[in-house]
C-alpha cells in the first residue's frame, strides 16, 4: 500500500468535519455524491484521493467555498523553525484548478505556504493594502512568488500584473502567469509587463504537476529570490 498523502489526509479530515457539523451519518453524504459508504470512508481517511470534480460537489452540498478544505494546512504541516518557507500568492478563479495546483504541489520538496484569491479585484485590494496595517495585509505575508490566472473576473490577469509591477515594493517579485491556452499576443503583452513566465494548464495532471515543479524548483532552489536576500 502506498503512503497516505498529507494533503489527501487533511482534505479528508475537513470533509469529515463538515459532515459531522451537519450531523450526517456516512450514508447520507455518500448517497448525495453517489459513492459507497466504504469509498467515502477512504476519502475521509485520506487513503484514496478525491477528485477535483467530486470535492467541488461536496463543497456545493455543504454550501462552502472549496478553499475551506485547505484552510489551516500550512499550520498543521508546519516544520521546524530553521526550515525555509516560501510564500506563494495564487490568484485563480477556478476552484477546481486551485485544487489541482495544491494537489500537484502537496509533495513539493520545499515548504510552501499558498494563499489564494479568487478574483482579480480581491487580489488587487490585497496588493494595494500591502505595506499598510489593514487586517488583510496583516493576515498574509508578502509573497516570494505570485501566480496569476490570465483570465480573471473583474480585473484580468494582465491588469493585475501591471499593477504589481507598478508598485515599488512588489515589482521585483516574480509573477508566473497561468492559462489554459497561450496566444502570442497575450504572451507578448505579459512579458512586456515583466511577467517571469507562463504555465499552461495541461489536460494531463501529471504534465501540469511536472511543469509546476520545474518552475518552482528554479525559483526556490536555483536562484535567490529578492524576498529571501536579507
**Residues 92 and 183 grouped into a single domain:** yes
- What per-residue confidence (pLDDT) applies to 137? 45
Report the CATH number that the domain containing residue 115 is assigned in CATH: 3.40.50.2300
Phi, psi (deg, nearest 5) at residue 208: -60, -45
Q: How far apart are CA 145 and CA 114, in angstroms?
A: 10
Residue 111 has which C-alpha cell?
A: 515548504
Q: Is residue 136 part of a domain?
A: yes
pTM as predicted = 0.68
Q: Is residue 44 part of a domain?
A: yes
**Residues 26 and 126 grouped into a single domain:** no
**Residues 99 and 176 grouped into a single domain:** yes
How crowded is residue 119: how many other Cβ atoms within 10 Å of its Cβ?
Answer: 17
**Residues 85 and 30 grouped into a single domain:** no
**58: nearest Cα among 30, 93, 20, 39:** 30
Range of the structural domain that residue 174 is part of: 79-228
**Residues 188 and 213 grouped into a single domain:** yes
Looking at 69, 91, 118, which one is the last position of a domain? 69
**Residues 164 and 223 grouped into a single domain:** yes
For each successive 10 residues of the chain (230 residues), what is the average pLDDT? 67 90 93 94 88 83 82 56 76 88 90 85 80 50 90 90 89 93 87 93 90 94 76
Residue 71 has which C-alpha cell?
A: 484552510
**Residues 148 and 224 grouped into a single domain:** yes
- What per-residue confidence (pLDDT) applies to 83? 54
Report CA-CA distances (Å) from 148 to 42, 70, 155, 156.
Answer: 33, 19, 11, 9
Torsional sign, CA 59, 50, 74, 204: negative
Q: How far apart are CA 222 and CA 219, in angstroms?
A: 6
- What per-residue confidence (pLDDT) applies to 135? 40
Q: How far apart are CA 84 and CA 125, in angstroms?
A: 28
Looking at 14, 44, 69, which one is the last position of a domain? 69
Angle formed by the axes of helices 37-44 and 6-21, nearest 10°: 120
Phi, psi (deg, nearest 5) at residue 146: -120, 135
Please, which residues have CB within 8 angstroms of residue 34's CB and are 6 or more apart in sequence?
A: none
**Residues 16 and 100 grouped into a single domain:** no
- What per-residue confidence (pLDDT) applies to 134? 47
Q: How far apart are CA 184 and CA 111, in angstroms?
A: 34
**Residues 140 and 27 grouped into a single domain:** no
Domain count, the chain: 2
Looking at 38, 69, 100, which one is the last position of a domain? 69
Q: Is residue 74 part of a domain?
A: no
Q: How far apart are CA 220 and CA 74, in angstroms?
A: 17
Report the CATH number that the domain containing residue 30 is assigned in CATH: 1.10.260.40
Q: Is residue 1 part of a domain?
A: no
- What per-residue confidence (pLDDT) applies to 192? 94
**Residues 191 and 116 grouped into a single domain:** yes
**Residues 118 and 178 grouped into a single domain:** yes
- What per-residue confidence (pLDDT) applies to 161? 94
Q: How many CA atoms lie within 13 A of 45 on its CB side?
A: 10
**Residues 154 and 218 grouped into a single domain:** yes
How crowded is residue 225: how many other Cβ atoms within 10 Å of its Cβ?
Answer: 16
Amino acid at each position: 500500500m502506498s503512503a497516505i498523502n498529507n494533503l489527501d489526509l487533511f482534505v479528508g479530515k475537513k470533509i469529515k468535519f463538515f459532515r459531522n457539523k451537519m450531523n450526517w451519518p456516512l450514508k447520507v453524504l455518500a448517497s448525495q455524491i453517489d459513492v459507497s459508504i466504504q469509498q467515502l470512508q477512504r476519502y475521509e481517511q485520506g487513503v484514496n484521493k478525491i477528485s477535483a470534480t467530486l470535492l467541488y460537489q461536496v463543497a456545493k452540498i455543504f454550501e462552502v467555498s472549496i478553499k475551506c478544505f485547505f484552510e489551516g494546512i500550512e499550520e498543521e504541516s508546519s516544520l521546524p523553525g530553521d526550515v525555509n518557507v516560501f510564500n506563494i500568492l495564487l490568484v485563480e478563479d477556478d476552484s477546481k484548478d486551485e485544487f489541482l495546483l495544491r494537489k500537484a504541489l502537496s509533495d513539493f520538496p520545499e515548504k510552501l505556504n499558498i494563499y489564494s484569491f479568487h478574483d482579480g479585484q480581491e487580489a488587487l485590494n490585497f496588493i494595494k493594502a500591502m505595506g499598510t496595517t489593514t487586517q488583510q495585509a496583516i493576515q498574509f505575508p508578502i509573497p516570494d512568488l505570485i501566480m496569476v490566472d490570465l483570465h480573471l473576473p473583474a480585473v484580468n490577469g494582465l491588469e493585475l500584473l501591471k499593477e504589481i509591477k507598478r508598485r515599488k515594493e512588489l515589482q521585483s517579485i516574480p509573477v508566473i502567469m497561468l492559462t489554459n491556452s497561450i496566444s502570442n499576443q497575450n504572451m507578448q503583452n505579459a512579458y512586456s509587463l515583466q511577467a517571469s513566465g507562463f504555465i499552461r494548464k495541461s489536460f494531463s495532471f501529471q504534465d501540469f504537476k511536472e511543469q509546476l515543479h520545474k518552475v518552482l524548483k528554479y525559483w526556490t532552489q536555483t536562484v535567490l529570490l529578492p524576498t529571501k536576500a536579507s
